[in-house]
Amino acid sequence: MMLAVETLPDPQPIAIAFKSVCDYADPNKNDKWQKYAAYTSASFLYEFIKKYVD
């Protein structure tokens, strides 16, 4: 998504992304914390919108 926004011609849309870390990307990587990470990202975005978007 971020690359797509960067390469669009003018006028470029304003984009913002919130991501949570859910693993160390090592050989022990698994999806144990993925749902929690998705929840925290969505919760942060919700609070951000409530505070900063009219």
CB 43 within 8 Å of CB 20: no
Residue with tokens 């975005």: 45
The domains of the chain are located at 9-52
What pLDDT is attached to residue 52?
92
5-42 tens-digit pLDDT: 678 777 877 778 888 999 999 999 999 999 999 999 99
As given in the structure block, the two tokens for residue 35 are: 């749902």
How many C-beta atoms lie closer than 10 Å to residue 11's C-beta? 6
Question: What's the whole-model pTM score?
Answer: 0.69
Helices and strands per DSSP (H, E), number in the chain: 2, 0
Distance CA 6, CA 20 (A): 22
- For the segment 47-52, the average pLDDT, to the nearest whole number, is 95
